[in-house]
Amino acid sequence: MARNEAISPVEGAAVLEALFHQSPTGLMVLDTELRILRISVMTPVLRTAPFEQIRGRHFTDVYDLSAPGEVEAMLRGVLESGAPARGRPVGVRPKGGPGPEYQVSVSACRLEDTKGRILGVLTEILDVTEREKVRARLRVLGSVRERVGQTLDVVATCEELVQAVVPDLADIAVVEVVEAAVRGEEPPPSPLGREMPLRRAAFGRSGGEEQVQAHPVGDVRALPFPTPYAQTLTDLKPRLVALGPETPWLAAVPQRAEAILASGAHSLIITPLTLRGTVLGLMSLYRTGQGDVYDQGDVTLAVAVAAHAALCIDNARRYTREHTIALTIQRHLLLPEPATQTTVETVHMLVPSETGGGSGFDTFALSGARTALVVGEVAGQGIHAATTLGQIGTATRSLAALDLEPDELLARLNDTTISLAQERTALPPGDPMPLTGSCVYAVYDPLAQTCTIALAGHPPPVIAHPDGSTEIPQLPSGPPLGSTEGPPFAATTVSVTDGSVLAFYTPSLLTTSRSPETLQRVLAHTDRPLQDLCDDVLYRLRSDTRHGDVILLLARTHTFPAGEVAAWHLDHHPKAVAVARDHTQLQLSHWGVDEETAYTAEMIVSELVTNAIRYGAPPVRLRLIKDRTLSCEVHDSNALAPRLRHAKTVDEGGRGLFIIAQLARTWGVRYSLDGKTVWAEQTLPPATSPRPPQRS
């Protein structure tokens, strides 16, 4: 038979019978009023009742459609225009029946006789339920992978999981996690003991209805046994559970049973949250009301969702653990209360960032009644940043003990940072950020009433004077720590009067308090207590995301008590040794220093002056300072460094510095443009130590 030849009526009738009785594609013939004339008997979605009961009825009276108005409008459009319509997706189930909802694709074309008279419409109904289920499951899995893990917080990650699966995968979702995991601790290995407490971390329900919960979010308790929840945590196998009033294990969980029955849940999937043989928690998914009953395809999807969620929860747990360790290290590195010197009153503020661990401050005493003030930060986060900060802090104190000028100290600290960076490159990959940092190092000298400041890629301090004026000194800034290129470090000396307030801070402070002018306005009221000033700055911080720790170190300067320091010019002659001893004896007697300490001080002064007369150059000056320690200083104009030598038995000299090292608590050499100062410190009994200034 030729392709274009018309088939006979007999053949046509045979084709129609085959289509309506054997074709898996659903067919429905409707008249011009959209009443059913004929349907396919092979398509389950159309078999709702005997054909005799539905013939002549409007199709919307026979089937419940998810969008009946849109489908009817499509069919009437086909009748009117004659243009076929293809692939309209819609959900359908028998009218008033409990059967499942099918997802179908509806196509339609107009029926006409040989004279062009409109007879009705032929609809083709293709069952795409399984295809749509697969697509829906892929969408759910994609949503979970996109939305879960946005934060590094265990509870927030659980909330993201609930939001991602409701309502597309579950009408109700509950996520419970091991309490230890919330704190960042190592999760327990499987199987989980019956008494292991779990925290209800997240709960979600679709429809905006009142949330009926067995236990509130945040509740911590062990799961009762025997229940499928406990069994899932024991064997780590997912479970598909049918729910109803007759479910036997509900008696073991009366509160959950009440919530389950009140919600109308009929189907439950329980999936463990596990990773590398450890148990992190449990995910429970419920279907309620008219929702489809879960099947094995849903279980497979739930397992995939749980695997991704477990990885995200464990990442958050590890971050919590590392963050806790980093903050612990940082807080141990930071002083709980900066050491208050006689001439410097200090308070501080620390606001850790979300990553934390990379910023710190320090204050410590130097020779000559001076005080070092340090604020700095290193790049990176977590444990790596905190430990690096500790190494650099230790190096700073060690270099400061050498009495280096601030610019020279930063230069050597930069060399140390470069060495640490080179050591880091030889280690397994950890913190991906390069080792760089910034620092401000300042030395306050109360006797000269000056502060010498050097910067390494750090903002300069704000200085508030007692008269209410403030300034940000224009200081040259050297390169950041860890740099191999850049200008040399430079130190600048500024004058500070009694009662001035110096504010040192990390760069993050300026990004959160809007501008340096805000800090200046607060510090202008220097008569207020330091803690009040510090708190005022804290209250003005913006709540937006910070890119680093916010540290503020406030220091109020005071002059050194005039009666606690004495100085003399000495002749460059051997007789000056005896003169120096006499001056020392009289002055220490005037200060009320005990005889033993005074005798030791006379011996130290004798050796210091002897070395200055023998190896130094005029002029020679002796200075005694009674602070928390007793300092003896001898200055001469020769910049040649003395060195400690161990004299032989037959040697007549060479024991000077060795004797000083044995008698003094500590000693050192401080260099200046006009020579050097050799100093030694002795510990004073508490009765003779001056009291620190009282904080206002």
Q: What is the pLDDT of residues 487-503, one digit of tens each?
A: 899 999 999 999 999 99
Contact between 655 and 606 (Cβ < 8 Å): no
N- to C-terminal Cα separation, the chain: 112
pLDDT of 624 > 70? The answer is yes
Rounded CA gap, 641 and 635, in Å? 12
Span 83-99, average pLDDT? 79
* pLDDT higher at 549 or 535: 535
Rounded CA gap, 425 and 660, in Å? 43
Residue 356 C-alpha from the chain's centroid: 7
pLDDT of 654 > 50? The answer is no
For the stretch 46-60, pLDDT in tens is: 766 777 778 888 888
From 206-210, 347-351, 533-537, the region with the lowest mean pLDDT:
206-210
- The 3-class SS string of 127-186 reads ECHHHHHHHHHHHHHHHHHHHCCCCCCHHHHHHHHHHHHCCCCCCEEEEEEEHHHHCCCC
Q: Using 50, 70 and 90 to split pLDDT, how confident is the model at 331?
A: low
**Who contacts 90 (Cβ-Cβ below 8 Å, separation ≥6)?**
65, 66, 67, 70, 71, 103, 104, 106
Average pLDDT, the chain: 83
> Can you state the angle between helices 382-400 and 296-333, rounded to 10 degrees?
10
Residue 429 C-alpha from the chain's centroid: 20
Contact between 497 and 449 (Cβ < 8 Å): yes
Instruction: Please tell me the predicted confidence (pLDDT) of residue 54.
Output: 81
Residues found in the chain: 696
Rounded CA gap, 240 and 292, in Å? 13
Instruction: Please tell me the predicted confidence (pLDDT) of residue 209.
Output: 56
For the stretch 159-205, pLDDT in tens is: 999 999 998 899 999 999 998 888 888 888 777 767 788 899 999 99
Instruction: Please tell me the predicted confidence (pLDDT) of residue 182.
Output: 86
Q: Using 50, 70 and 90 to split pLDDT, how confident is the model at 61?
A: confident
Q: Using 50, 70 and 90 to split pLDDT, how confident is the model at 433?
A: low
Span 352-375, average pLDDT? 84
Identify the structural domains of the chain with CATH numbers, from first to last.
Answer: 9-127 (3.30.450.20), 133-323 (3.30.450.40), 336-557 (3.60.40.10), 563-688 (3.30.565.10)
Instruction: Please tell me the predicted confidence (pLDDT) of residue 262.
Output: 86
CA-closest candidate to residue 135, choices 105, 94, 174, 162: 105
* pLDDT higher at 630 or 650: 630
Q: Is the peptide bond before 619 cis (omega within 30 degrees of 0)?
A: yes
Instruction: Please tell me the predicted confidence (pLDDT) of residue 620.
Output: 94
For the stretch 101-140, pLDDT in tens is: 788 888 899 988 888 888 889 888 888 878 888 888 888 8
* pLDDT higher at 130 or 457: 457
Instruction: Please tell me the predicted confidence (pLDDT) of residue 422.
Output: 83
Contact between 294 and 282 (Cβ < 8 Å): no
Nearest 5°: the CA angle 569, 594, 338 is 80
**Who contacts 543 (Cβ-Cβ below 8 Å, separation ≥6)?**
none
Span 26-39, average pLDDT? 86
pLDDT of 597 > 80? The answer is yes
Contact between 333 and 340 (Cβ < 8 Å): no
* pLDDT higher at 276 or 212: 276
> Which of 3-17, 284-298, 545-559 ranks highest by mean pLDDT?
284-298
For the stretch 109-120, pLDDT in tens is: 998 888 888 888
From 8-22, 27-41, 532-546, the region with the lowest mean pLDDT:
8-22
Instruction: Please tell me the predicted confidence (pLDDT) of residue 240.
Output: 93
Contact between 170 and 198 (Cβ < 8 Å): no
Query: At residue 422, what are phi and psi to the nearest 5 degrees?
Result: -65, -40
Q: What percent of the chain has pLDDT over 90?
A: 36
Classify residue 469 by burial, with Cβ atoms within 10 Å: 0-12, 13-18, 19+.
exposed
Instruction: Please tell me the predicted confidence (pLDDT) of residue 125.
Output: 84
Contact between 178 and 279 (Cβ < 8 Å): yes
From 211-215, 343-347, 566-570, 634-638, the region with the lowest mean pLDDT:
211-215
For the stretch 231-261, pLDDT in tens is: 888 888 999 999 888 888 888 888 888 888 8
Instruction: Please tell me the predicted confidence (pLDDT) of residue 113.
Output: 84
